[in-house]
Structures are given as structure tokens and as C-alpha cells.
Amino acid sequence: MTVQQFAKEIRRNTLRCLHSQGSGHVGGSLSIVDALAVLYSRYMHVDPHDPRMADRDKLVLSKGHSGPALYATLAIKGFFPAEWLDTLNKLGTRLPSHVNLNLTPGVDMTAGSLGQGLSCACGLALANRLNGIDRNVYVITGDGELQEGQNWEGAMFAAQKKLDSLIVLVDSNKLQIDGATADVMNVEDICAKFAAFGFDAQRVDGHDYEALDGAIHRAKIAKNGKPQCIVMDTVKGKGVSFYEAMGAGVHSTSVTDEQYEAALNELK
Ligand SMILES: Cc1ncc(C[n+]2csc(CCOP(=O)(O)OP(=O)(O)O)c2C)c(N)n1
Ligand SMILES: [Mg+2]
């Protein structure tokens, strides 16, 4: 499967998952699909048959409300049966709307309360070093999420401890829950901010597979004592025209039978 096909399959399954609930975090799930496709096809050293393998790469989905995109990815990778995707948030489900490491095979950190994932990832990266494990810890944060001050405590800690196995991917889709990030509380220049905190920072088109691949590769091989940041310019709702066109409204929205069918038609 090419990375393009993988990404389409993730988008289809993300919408399948959201459709099972009838609504949910459509926009921020679709905006990270291409990053997940590159990570899980080319970088993540994981074993679907041994999800807790000590010697694995880890992903902290700090913007935990985008769980459906991660679930879609993990289902395709074989971490659990695809039928689980039809149970989003249902009573007794293993797939809660916000990621939970105790419920879902392949989920490495619980998240949902925004702002905490980078700190958690610092702990995971430091623990790897103490245990002699040479693997990467990836974090995906939202752009709006960076308004949470705890991120910058985590960033300081990462630089202080020289956590160069830590790779932060910022999903810069320019929107948060109820408007444009620039209008609510501007977080730009994100690259310059991370660089000022001691990171190597790059900025790429978050829907360009080869650009993403190049940035992740550079971050992975840097090993220069600096934590790594990749700001991804993305589109909320990416891949489905009518979701892309919704603006901030796509943050949490419906996936009706009609919308699901129309979206699948676009994702053939
Ligand atoms: C601490 C905290 N405050 C508020 C929320 C509610 N909330 C969920 S998503 C969201 C918007 C986040 O915006 P952004 O980080 O840009 O995410 P994305 O655009 O990728 O969906 C908010 C405010 C939350 N989950 N956690
Ligand atoms: Mg956003």
C-alpha cells in the first residue's frame, strides 16, 4: 500500500468511526491523517501483536480529541479488529472519543485535557534514556492547544534534559474550537517559539508526504542534544471538500448517513 492509499484508508476509517457516533471531532481528526500515514508507514517501530513492547516508538496524541484518526490508523495496522471502529464512545467501548492508554491497544498515552501531552512525552523520553532504550517519542499537539502554558514548561524541560529523541509535531490548522487561533490568542511564530526554547524547529506542508517524510527523517537523525519540533501547516477537515469548507464549524460536527456517503465518494 502506498502512503497515499494508506492515508485515504485512514480517512475512510476515521469517518466510519465518527459516523458510528453520528458526530464528533471531524476537523482535527482529518488534519493529522497525513502525518499519521507517514509515521505509521515509515517510522513507527511498533508491533500490533505486542502493543506494549518496551523497545517501541511511542506516539502521544496530545490533542486527544482526534482519537478517531489514530484508531483508524491502528485498526489498519492490525492492533484491533476494524469492527471496533463502529463503537466510538458507546457504553463498554474500547474506543473512547478521547484516547485512553488503558483501553486501546497501540495508544501510548491518555489525553484529552489539552496541554499535558508534551510533559507526558518528556517523561517517556527520559524513561527510555534511563532504561537504555534508543527509540523516538512523537507528540502531536494542536495549534490552539499551544495556548496552554504547560506546553512551555514541557519544552523547557525537554531542552534542559537534552531529550533529542523527542519529536513534537504541531498540527497548525489555524483553527481551534470556536474560531481562528490567530483571533482567539495568537500562537505564532510557533517555529521561532520552539527554537527559542532550545528546539530544532522546522515547518512543512502537513499534507505533503515527502515534505513530512524529510522533516521527520531530519528530526530523527539529528541526535544533537536538542528536542525536535515540526510545525505542520494543515487544513482542518482535510480530504473532504464540504468539511474543509466549514471553517471553525468543522471542529465538532455531524457525520450523517448522507455526509458519510458523500465523503466516501470523495475518498475513492
Ligand atoms: C484543558 C482543555 N480545555 C478545553 C478543552 C476543550 N477542547 C477540546 S478541543 C479544543 C480546541 C483545540 O484546538 P486545537 O488545539 O487547535 O485542536 P484542533 O484544531 O487540532 O482540533 C478545546 C478547547 C479540552 N479538551 N481541554
Ligand atoms: Mg487547531
For 119-171, how does the pLDDT look when each residue is reduced to its tens digit (9 = 90+)? 999 999 999 999 999 999 999 999 999 999 999 999 999 999 999 999 999 99
- DSSP of the chain: --HHHHHHHHHHHHHHHHHHHTEE-HHHHHTTHHHHHHIIIII----TT-TT-SSS-EEEESSGGGHHHHHHHHHHHTSS-GGGGGGTT-TT-S--SS--TTTSTT--S---STT-HHHHHHHHHHHHHHTT----EEEEEETGGGGSTHHHHHHHHHHHTT-TTEEEEEEE-SEETTEEHHHHH----HHHHHHHTT-EEEEEETT-HHHHHHHHHHHHHH-SS--EEEEEE--TTTT-HHHHTTGGGGSSEE--HHHHHHHHHHT-
> Considering only CA atoms, which residue is closest to atom 21 of ligand 1?
28
pLDDT on residue 4: 98
Other beta carbons within 10 Å of 23: 14
pTM score, two decimals? Answer: 0.99
User: Which residues, including other chains, have CB under 8 Å from residue 205's CB and lie 6 or more apart?
Assistant: 211, 212, 232, 233
Residue identifier of the C-alpha nearest atom 10 of ligand 1: 177
Tens-place pLDDT, residues 197-206 = 999 999 999 9
pLDDT of residue 196: 98
- Among 31, 61, 63, say which to mutate for ligand 1: greatest number of ligand atoms within 8 Å of CB: 63
**pLDDT, mean of each 10-residue run, the chain (268 residues):** 98 98 98 99 98 98 98 98 98 98 98 98 98 98 98 98 99 97 98 98 98 98 98 98 98 98 98
C-alpha cell at position 44: 513507527
Closest ligand relative to 237 C-alpha: 1
So what's the pLDDT on residue 214?
98
> Taking the domains of the chain in order of start, what are their residue ranges?
3-266
CA of 172 to the centre of ligand 1 (A): 13
Q: How far is the CA of 177 from the centre of ligand 1 (A)?
A: 6
How many angstroms separate the alpha carbon of residue 132 from the centre of ligand 2?
Answer: 35
Pocket of ligand 1 (CB under 6 A): 27-28, 31, 63, 65, 112-115, 142-145, 171, 173, 175-177, 181, 236, 251
Cα of 55 vs centre of ligand 1, distance in Å, is 31
Distance CA 34, CA 211 (A): 11
Nearest-angstrom CA–CA distance, 268 and 141: 29
Domain topology for 3-266: Rossmann fold (3.40.50)
The answer to whether 83 and 90 have CB atoms below 8 angstroms apart is: no
- Give the Å distance between the CA of 35 and the centre of ligand 2: 15
